[in-house]
Amino acid sequence: MFLEFVNLLGVFLSIFVSSFSPPAPSNVYVEYIPGNTNLIFSVPHDGDTNLTSIPLRRNGCKDSEGVCIYPGKEECDPDKICKVIIGADLNAKDIAKTVFDKYVESTGKTPHMIISHLHRSRLDPNRPVEQAAQGNPEAIAAYEAFHGSIKHAHEALGGQHGLHIDFHGYTDTYRQNNTMIGYLFVSKELNSGKIDIKKSSIQALVARTGLPVEQFLYGQESLGAMFESAGYKAVPSPRQPRPGQEKYYRGGWITQVHGSRDGGVIDAIQLEFPTEIRTEASDQDRYMFGVKLAENIQRFQTLFY
pLDDT at 21 over 80: no
Confidence of residue 23 (pLDDT cuts 50, 70, 90): confident
Q: Model confidence over 207-235: pLDDT tens digits?
A: 999 999 999 999 999 999 999 999 999 99
**Any domain includes 135:** yes
Confidence of residue 36 (pLDDT cuts 50, 70, 90): very high
pLDDT at 16 over 50: no
DSSP, res 38: S
Residue 297 identity: I
Residue 244 three-state SS: coil
Burial class of residue 99 in the structure, from the number of CB atoms within 10 Å of its CB (0-12 exposed, 13-18 middle, 19+ buried): buried
- Owning domain of residue 106: 2-54+85-304
Dist CA 138 CA 55 (whole Å): 10
**Any domain includes 191:** yes
Q: Model confidence over 170-208: pLDDT tens digits?
A: 999 989 999 999 999 999 999 999 999 999 999 999 999
**Any domain includes 211:** yes
**Any domain includes 180:** yes
Angle at 110 between CA 109 and CA 112, to 5 degrees: 145
pLDDT at 293 over 60: yes
**Any domain includes 176:** yes
- The CA-based diameter of the chain, rounded to the nearest angstrom, is 66
The tally of domains found in the chain comes to 1
**Any domain includes 74:** no
Dist CA 39 CA 232 (whole Å): 23
Dist CA 46 CA 169 (whole Å): 9
**Any domain includes 144:** yes
Domain of 118, CATH number, reads: 3.40.630.40
Tell me how crowded residue 176 is: count the other CB atoms within 10 A of its CB.
18
Q: Model confidence over 71-106: pLDDT tens digits?
A: 999 999 999 999 999 999 999 999 999 999 999 999
DSSP, res 21: S
Q: Model confidence over 259-275: pLDDT tens digits?
A: 999 999 999 999 999 99
Q: What is the mean pLDDT of residues 280-302?
A: 98
Dist CA 88 CA 95 (whole Å): 14
pLDDT at 138: 98
Confidence of residue 24 (pLDDT cuts 50, 70, 90): confident
**Any domain includes 69:** no
